[in-house]
Amino acid sequence: MTKYLSVLIVLVCLTAVSMPARAGESHNSDIGFSSSLVQRSFRVGHVGVELFAQDRVDAASLLAGVDFSKAATPQSIADQVNARRKQLYPDAEIILSLTPGDKVGLVKAIYWWNNTNCSTCYWYAQYTSTVATMFIDDVQYGSYNVYDRTGSGGWVFRYLVGAGGAATRATYGPSALKGFKGSAAGVSSKADVVMYFFN
């Protein structure tokens, strides 16, 4: 994933220059998915943290010892949580959503490990932003139809990414609702997904 992550970071830099509840379908800023994951929300220092996972996943154990200081970047926070995740819940579907206290640049960073979908399932994330980037890494099995959207328009199909593949997508323009969506292409699918939304 490291080589693909460096590609994403370059892409982001280039484009940037120019209370438990269940998530549901919405056409506003949010994360949506077909699976049954429980949302837990926290405020840690200056960072808003949302963790979506099955009931069996202990959020406190994933966040224990993570550096949420003002100097910590979303990527460094995610790396620390990911290290804990690999030790404790390597096969669980887990979404880490980070909202910096200062939204001058980054609106939202989303790290979605083991994004798992049944043959008719989907996932999406959409937030008001000027630049939005998505990276799908390590499609372990199955395949995804990938879509994006801008403003009030519908989801636009962009491409199919299959097992063993990886893909990136970026959208930019005036501040508006921007989002990405993936749907399993007729078979169960699993991959890691990273998304960033910028002011």
Q: What is the pLDDT along the chain (199 residues), one digit of tens a residue?
A: 443 343 333 333 333 332 233 333 333 468 988 878 999 999 988 899 999 999 999 999 999 999 988 888 999 999 999 999 999 999 999 999 999 887 678 999 999 999 998 988 999 999 999 999 999 988 999 999 999 999 988 999 999 999 998 999 999 999 999 999 999 888 899 999 999 999 9
Give the alpha-carbon dihedral of 19, 55, 93, 13, to 10 degrees.
20
**CATH assignment of 2-198?**
2.60.120.380
Sign of the CA dihedral 46, 93, 126, 168? Answer: positive
What pTM was estimated for this model as a whole?
Answer: 0.84
Distance of CA 122 to the CA centre of its chain: 13
Neighbouring CB atoms inside 10 A of 157's CB total 11
Give the residue carrying structure tokens 């949010």: 30
Q: What are the residue boundaries of the structural domains of the chain, listed by start?
A: 2-198
Name the strand (E) or helix (H) holding 142: none
Distance CA 56, CA 30 (A): 23
H-type helices in the chain, by residue range? 2-17, 59-63, 74-88
